Structure 1
Amino acid sequence: MRREIIKMGVSHSSKPPVFDQNEEVNFDHFQILRAIGKGSFGKVCIVQKKDTKKMYAMKYMNKQKCIERNEVRNVLKELQIMQSLEHPYLVNLWFAFQDVEDMFMVVDLLLGGDLRYHLQQNVHFTETTVKLYISEIALALGYLRSKHIIHRDIKPDNILLDEDGHVHITDFNIAATIKEDTQMTSVAGTKPYMAPEMFQPCLEGHPGYSYAVDWWSLGITAYELLKGQRPYHIRSGMAVNDIIQLFHTVNVNYPSTWSAGMESLLRKLLMLEPQHRLSHLSDLQEFNYLSDINWDAVMLKKVIPGFMPNKGRLNCDPTFELEEMILESKPLHKKKKRLAKKLRENRRDSSPQSGQMQRRLESVQNEFRIFNREKLRTCQDQKEENDNIIDEKEKIEETEDGKNNNIVPPTYV
């Protein structure tokens, strides 16, 4: 699979280039292979780091579009959150850098596609498979809680599969850091997956919401994977009052083919009152239906998923590649020429509007935090190595000291 992707990219010399160790990672350090997805103001492509030959997914966001859509705060916040996280069931950030045109985030490459894609391909997820997904996502949510982070957008679109079929949570664009014993009141998320209490801050006098909203979204997602449709038919355009009424009038249907254990678990995840909902990792680990789960084995990815994504092809919409090459007005492979032309144009354009945009672009440039997990790992490994050398040295000194411990000290009168 990986070989096929490399073939799609531009051919390069087999000898890896040598980069300056002190140089910050930038766009030139990566070979662009193909486009695989897009969002409202960002796109995703597969890249290969030229020196290590490791493959990643690279998300790039146009600065000017982010400014025009008032999305800069969200991007910088997402970047800050992702720099503080690393977990087996998250899509982890490896590098973050920028140029005058775009902001770049280089993350784990997951070739198994997202769960929305597989639902659209009419994949039937068995109860055993969904049970493992729930366990893996629960470990990730438990970790996020330990970091005081609410994701706020758990849904099939934001759960990617790796090549072995394990799940990984992605897209921290609307995630929030929350202080202990406080509630959030801002309304954010995708309506069909949002917990009832997330709509209530719109009504006067409601206290807000906390970590339990992610566990509701997990329940909705698990239900949809099993049944192929969600338990509540909520549309994106529905009014808040209509949605709240829907929660209190609809009786959720649990098919008789589902086990009593799975039904019981989903009922607990989909409790309308957050204080009665399963919303801690420990709650889930103690739940009777999951008593046969070896949580240590799950954490180490030693439990084999029941569904394996197709390894023979890319599990995503193939039109992204076509759009990038034909329809995209600013394709990545023409970036160098475009930036040189833009620099010349900026020198000539001195209009007030241009000056205002330039100041805002400079503000983004200053606030953006570069990141290099590869370098952090190297520094950490060197520190551990140095610590081990010091420990060994101290042990040797203690042993040498101990040789004279049995000598009886002289007695003085």
Structure 2
Amino acid sequence: PAPMFPWSKWKKRMGASASSSKRPVFDEREDAAPDCAPALPGQVCIVQKRDTEKMYAMKYMNKQQCIERDEVRNVFRELEILQEIEHVFLVNLWYSFQDEEDMFMVVDLLLGGDLRYHLQQNVQFTEETVKLYICEMALALDYLRSQHIIHRDVKPDNILLDEQGHAHLTDFNIATIIRDGERATALAGTKPYMAPEIFHSFLSGGTGYSFEVDWWSLGIMAYELLRGWRPYDIHSSNPVESLVQLFSTVSVQYSSAWSRDMVGLLRKLLTVNPEHRFSCLQHVQGSAHLAGVAWGDVSQKRVEPAFVPNKGRLHCDPTFELEEMILESRPLHKKKKRLAKNKSRDNSKDSSQSENDYLQECLEAIQQDFVIFNREK
């Protein structure tokens, strides 16, 4: 069979603007089990740095699997973005490195669980709690805008809590970078959280979309946290054409139990026309709906969250999230034996030499192009 991953095309795509791609990039897991790890293929373990004794989450992604699944571009794009950014309300990258078999990402360890997990545990989020999440994510999105980054996948699954209950945005594998005057055009995201203009742009081939889409997603998420379901009944199977029609015919229903300020804030975030939507920090800070917020305290994590995760347990279901959780400084100590075993098995396979040569070419290119990163240097 022909190789699944056209290397030469990938090399070209790596140099092309992600905003110009018309290839749909969906995360179909909006109703899936909670996931502490990024959506890219791989495994996660907890590691400890010897000299500082600081704990981190480490994701390791098998190179051959990434090639076969056409995920190399996404891995490299996420690493490229994470190496350039750092913010108090992001899950920050600390180190990236590789060996013969895997690529590694070492990031902040956040054990408070993601918001999808807590929704599935039937946590009743109060307006006070959700308002703080909105403020913390507004600061994160404002920072990303200053770095020309559209996240494109803001949703409960991608908001991790620390042990104090503060929110952190993660998973940049479908994020894109747009420079001044540019617009994104790719159909990318998780459908129930994607802004109307993304679908309009894809169907009409219009002017594209920009940073406003992340603020729509924030509004959808805030509504879901408060009510337990999303304002629009959208699933990954819905055709794009039907979604464009839906946004023009269905009105969002707000709970009569919510305060006037919360409803007003959600209305501004869930405005279909992006030109009239709250879509920057200045809009939110200047809003009467958040008039009492001490933004300096929020940015310094001095506002205590009303919801604090239970410190007595790890808020990640290991069955779904931490496929291999090892609290030691050599999490891959059995790798040499596994590599030797795999090589022996591969040599015995009746596979064509051309396929092996092709795979080796891909692996060598990854080895050459991978950027090693150490935030402490």
Distance 1:107 1:38, change over 3 A: closer
Select 2:361's aligned residue among 334, 359, 362. Answer: 359
Cα distance, 1:39–1:332 mapped onto 2, change above 3 Å:
farther
Deviations 1:254-280 (A, max 9, x none): 001100010001000001010000001
Residue equivalent to 1:281: 281
Q: Does 1:117 align with 2:117?
A: yes
Q: CA 1:240–1:50 in 2, change beyond 3 Å: closer, same or farther?
A: same
Out of 369, 372, 375, the residue aligned to residue 374 of structure 2 is: 372
Contact 1:37/1:45, CA 8 A, preserved across alignment: no
Q: Hey, what's the Cα distance between the residues in 2 that align with 1:36 and 1:145?
A: 24
Q: How does 1:42-81 map to 2 (within 5 A)?
A: 42-81=42-81
Aligned residue type for 2:373: F
Structure-2 residue corresponding to 1:307: 307
Distance in 2, Cα, partners of 1:345 & 1:369:
30
Number of the residue aligned with 1:104: 104
| Aligned partners of 1:95 and 1:370 also within 8 Å | yes
What does 1:189-204 align with in structure 2 at a 5 Å threshold? 189-204=189-204
Shift of 1:223: 0.3
In structure 2, the gaps of 5 or more residues are 1-34, 326-330
8 A contact 1:38–1:44 mirrored in 2: no
Give yes or no for contact 2:38–2:170 (8 Å, CA) kept in 1. Answer: no
CA distance in 2, matches of 1:38, 1:290: 31
- Mapped to 1, the partners of 2:312 and 2:304 lie a distance apart of 19
Q: Which secondary structure state, in structure 1, belongs to the residue aligned with residue 271 of structure 2?
A: coil
5+ long unaligned stretches in structure 1:
1-34, 326-330, 377-413
Question: Contact 2:57–2:109 at 8 Å: present in 1 too?
Answer: yes
Question: In the comparison of the two structures, how many residue pairs are matched?
Answer: 336
Shift, 1:49, TM fit: 1.5
Classify 1:348/1:359 alpha carbon distance in 2 versus 1 (closer, same or farther; 3 Å): farther
User: For 2:167 and 2:321, how far apart are their aligned partners in 1?
Assistant: 24
1:232, CA displacement in angstroms? 0.3
Counterpart in the other structure of 2:89: 89
Q: CA offsets, 1:105-139, max 9 Å, x none? A: 00000010000000000000000010010000000
- Give the structure with higher Rg (CA): 1
- In the other structure, the counterpart of 1:161 is 161
Alpha carbons 1:36, 1:321 under 8 Å: kept: yes
Q: Is contact 2:36–2:114 with CA below 8 Å preserved after alignment?
A: no
Q: Distance in 2 between matches of 1:73 and 1:205?
A: 24
Distance across 2 between alignment mates of 1:261 and 1:140: 22
Q: The residue matched to 1:160 in structure 2 has which SS?
A: strand
Q: Determine helix, strand or coil for the equivalent of 1:319.
A: coil
Q: Name the structure 2 match of 1:134.
A: 134
After superposition, give the CA deviation of every residue in 1:131-168 in whole Å (9 maximum; x if it has no partner).
01000000000000000000000000000000000000
Following TM superposition, by how much is the alpha carbon of 1:318 offset from its aligned partner in structure 2, in angstroms? 3.0
Percent identical = 64
Q: 2-side partners of 1:46 and 1:134: how far apart?
A: 29
- Counterpart of 1:30 in structure 2 is none
Stretch moving more, 338-347 or 170-179: 338-347
Kindly state the Cα deviation for residue 332 of structure 1 after the two structures are TM-superposed. Answer: 4.2
Which residues in structure 2 correspond to 1:328-367 (within 5 Å)?
A: 332-342=332-342, 351-367=353-369
Give the 3-state SS of the residue equivalent to 1:308 in structure 2: coil
Contact 1:158 1:171 in 2 (8 A): yes
Please give the per-residue CA displacement for 1:311-355, whole angstroms capped at 9, x wherever unaligned.
001001132489549xxxxx9453121123445667788822111
Contact 1:36 1:46 in 2 (8 A): no
Q: Partner of 1:236 in structure 2?
A: 236
Query: For each residue in 1:235-294, what CA deviation from the matched residue of structure 2 results, as whole angstroms up to 9, or x when unmatched?
Result: 101100111111111111100110001000100000101000000111110001111111
8 Å Cα contact 2:43-2:323 kept in structure 1: no
Q: Any conservation in 2 of the 1:37–1:320 contact (CA below 8 Å)? A: no
Q: For residues 164 and 71 of structure 1, do their structure 2 counterparts lie closer, same or farther at Cα, with a shift above 3 Å needed? A: same
Query: Structure 1 residues 83, 268: CA separation in 2 closer, same or farther (over 3 Å shift)?
Result: same
Is residue 150–residue 214 contact of structure 2 (8 Å, CA) maintained in 1? yes
- 35-44 or 115-124, larger mean C-alpha shift: 35-44
Q: What CA RMSD, in Å, does the superposition of the two structures yield over aligned residues?
A: 2.0
In structure 1, how many angstroms separate the alpha carbons of the residues matched to 2:287 and 2:99?
A: 49
Q: Secondary structure of the equivalent of 2:188? A: coil
C-alpha displacement at 1:48, in angstroms?
A: 1.1
Structure 1 contact 96–104 (Cα < 8 Å) conserved: yes
Instruction: Indicate if the aligned counterparts of 1:159 and 1:168 stay in contact, CA closer than 8 A.
Output: yes
C-alpha distance in 1 between matches for 2:300 and 2:40: 35
Aligned to 2:16: none
